[in-house]
Structure 1
């Protein structure tokens, strides 16, 4: 099926592909395990130190290493076989979690170990993302990406629920041992169910892209040097750079509003209800991806891309009026449904990058998203020192709208098939 087909691909079509079922299952187990691990580690560090700062660092300690790994190691996603990378990273996680569960490390050493493991997370993630278009073609790829996005949100919710239950039943060390079991299960699923594939580097590129990026299709020097070289080539390509910015900026700016959900709820006299706002945001993303990915025809989905991006920011303007909790939750739900705009860019981004550099391109996309979202959240938090949280949310909405307007030409699909 191509993007011009009038009938959208169904979930049945996507899950009929055996390898995708394995990828989906392995990824879901991976996400549940990661969520339980970080929750258990945060509780464990707090119990041993009594430090709220260290507990918070335990929960987010993978963020900075993920960004560092994305800058220095992404070339490995194309230089090494994808199945080996995914399985190897799961086994590396298994060993690390087992050491954490033994309780032989100090809290600081625990954080250091998790940070080291996090360096390789973007490589495994990039390898997984680059496998998807090799399993699913045409619009099936777009729906498959939507399914994995939904799985990420759903399994995180399940991971929090399971983590809370395990902490009450077996404590943080027991939860870590069960996390180790998820690492082993994820590795087994990937090893048995995914086909062995040769590394992408050196394979003839199937993309129409030529020039600096295509010229970077051979292995030269160290992985660090090659990662820098290919990242520069990807960002130097005007078409690829535009599509990266379009996926990075409008949605990430909305994270600045999500980052002040706690102080906003506190201002309403219901600090504990911040979870309602965050759940509403997650629910909106799930609904948007499900509806747009499944029920909107491919060509129509791409045509709606800039308008869905506008949906991200527009509802947030209402926060200047300081709406109540449930009205605020409804606004968050509508706004985050706009994240489905990224589905309209998925095929175009896939077509824009050379086949031999898909792993690094997807890794760069993910690393950039984490970086911009982190900056937006930090900026939102800093602004709350100057203005009310509701005003910060409205400003985040305005910034997202401005970014969408600035990127309108990139967000709008071309009138005919793109050519490199």
Structure 2
């Protein structure tokens, strides 16, 4: 097992610094864009429904892109794909900023571009094991998770400030600047690498379109018992807990005047960030993998206390402890990398993200429906119980088998992966 990496080790790699910085700028820009678009649509229509749709309009297309287009993440060179997506975002945001489109057309344009979001994200994630090796890769994944949470909070703060200073149109123009900056950073800071999958078909094999290829490879990945188990382990325990977040607002309202759902949600985000930082940096790789099922169990168990309807601050503390358990996914990172074929890394990582988004959306919707029938605290406890039950069912998968990783950090061949089934 590799020795534990340090932040110094990870940030000493120039290409990781580029990936980290561009991802942070991307997340801030996307958060500001959706906030500004929501305000702009509301100003022009007066419709709360359309404003809400403007804010979440990228969700369903993102999931569809993950189901049908992920093959592009392995078919195209990663640098070109990421730069191309950032330039496409720049063009779209510039059109939105001019205000020439009617609100329905604005939402439709954002939705179309969102189809390619998971492809670019998968290409970025698949680059990590090519620039970071051994435990540095796991710590790098942790740092990107921290960056995602931290920059979203920063994006809300910056977005609120910009809306007050320059309005939604000005905020969108500044978002366009972030798109260009992302593209420039990636173009100048990352080496050119070939696509992982040949651009021409092998002799005697038909060239498939991106949609057919994505569906075929998704089926192959899900048919491999080891990969399927690791996907479910990454999807279920954490996604089921998100159902509790979905009823944070009614829970706070149920507590009475002075209770704020923002306190609960901030505590949840803070717990996740602290958990990732501490486990990623200070827990040795072998121990981190042994702790994986126990950290996953931590997601659900504290939420059972919501049956007692705790006051705001104890509830926030319980939420923070529970979400620290999201660090369990760090214990799966090396094993998942080891399991998937090198030439399908982009699609495999994209499938993790797509499945997680879909299951989180379903969990939040299910919790919202239950909150119409049950008290919010009961629903949050049910979400915790469901997460804990999923962890117990997946315990054999969450527990490492004790097999050492490949010595050079690369995954085994497809044949070796299938032999494990």
When normalised by structure 2's length, the TM-score is: 0.94
What's the offset of the Cα at 1:220?
3.1
Contact 1:91 1:184 (C-alpha < 8 Å) held by counterparts: yes
Q: After superposition, where does 1:140-159 map in structure 2 within 5 Å?
A: 140-159=136-155
Report the Cα distance in structure 2 between the residues aligned to 1:253 and 1:161, rounded to whole angstroms.
28
In the alignment, structure 1 residue 51 sits paired with structure 2 residue 38: no
Partner residue, 2:252? 265
Partner residue, 2:113? 117
Partner residue, 1:211? none
Partner residue, 2:411? none
In the alignment, structure 1 residue 344 sits paired with structure 2 residue 331: yes
What's the offset of the Cα at 1:178?
0.3
Report the Cα distance in structure 2 between the residues aligned to 1:30 and 1:309, rounded to whole angstroms.
29
Structure 1 SS opposite 2:260? helix
In the alignment, structure 1 residue 397 sits paired with structure 2 residue 384: yes
What's the offset of the Cα at 1:271?
7.4
Map Cα deviations across residues 89-115 of structure 1 (whole Å, 9 max, x no partner).
000000000000000011111100100
- Residue of structure 1 aligned with 2:17, choices 16, 21, 32: 21
In the alignment, structure 1 residue 178 sits paired with structure 2 residue 184: no
In the alignment, structure 1 residue 105 sits paired with structure 2 residue 92: no
What's the offset of the Cα at 1:8?
1.5
Contact 2:73 2:123 (C-alpha < 8 Å) held by counterparts: yes
Contact 1:30 1:186 (C-alpha < 8 Å) held by counterparts: yes
What's the offset of the Cα at 1:285?
0.4
Contact 2:259 2:312 (C-alpha < 8 Å) held by counterparts: no
Contact 1:202 1:356 (C-alpha < 8 Å) held by counterparts: no
Partner residue, 1:276? 263
Structure 1: 4+ residue segments shifted above 6 A: none
Q: After superposition, where does 1:4-403 map in structure 2 within 5 Å?
A: 4-5=1-2, 7-202=3-198, 220-270=207-257, 273-403=260-390
Report the Cα distance in structure 2 between the residues aligned to 1:257 and 1:380, rounded to whole angstroms.
7
Structure 1 SS opposite 2:70? coil
Map Cα deviations across residues 232-253 of structure 1 (whole Å, 9 max, x no partner).
0000000000000000000000
Report the Cα distance in structure 2 between the residues aligned to 1:291 and 1:377, rounded to whole angstroms.
28
What's the offset of the Cα at 1:416?
2.6
- Residue of structure 2 aligned with 1:413, choices 385, 396, 400: 400
Contact 1:219 1:226 (C-alpha < 8 Å) held by counterparts: no
Alpha carbons of 1:219 and 1:317: their partners in 2 closer, same or farther (altered >3 Å)? Answer: farther
Contact 2:33 2:171 (C-alpha < 8 Å) held by counterparts: yes
Task: Flag structure 2 segments of 5+ consecutive residues without an equivalent.
Answer: 406-415
Contact 1:65 1:119 (C-alpha < 8 Å) held by counterparts: yes
Report the Cα distance in structure 2 between the residues aligned to 1:226 and 1:79, rounded to whole angstroms.
10
Q: CA RMSD in A?
A: 1.3
Aligned residue pairs: how many? 403
Report the Cα distance in structure 2 between the residues aligned to 1:183 and 1:170, rounded to whole angstroms.
18
Contact 1:38 1:59 (C-alpha < 8 Å) held by counterparts: yes
Contact 1:308 1:340 (C-alpha < 8 Å) held by counterparts: yes
Report the Cα distance in structure 2 between the residues aligned to 1:262 and 1:331, rounded to whole angstroms.
16
Map Cα deviations across residues 33-85 of structure 1 (whole Å, 9 max, x no partner).
00000000011111111111111111100000000101110000000000000
What's the offset of the Cα at 1:270?
4.0
Map Cα deviations across residues 202-259 of structure 1 (whole Å, 9 max, x no partner).
49xxxxxxxxxxx9xx883100000000000000000000000000000000000000
Contact 1:129 1:362 (C-alpha < 8 Å) held by counterparts: yes
Task: Flag structure 1 segments of 5+ consecutive residues without an equivalent.
Answer: 204-214
Map Cα deviations across residues 305-343 of structure 1 (whole Å, 9 max, x no partner).
000000000000000000011111000000000000000
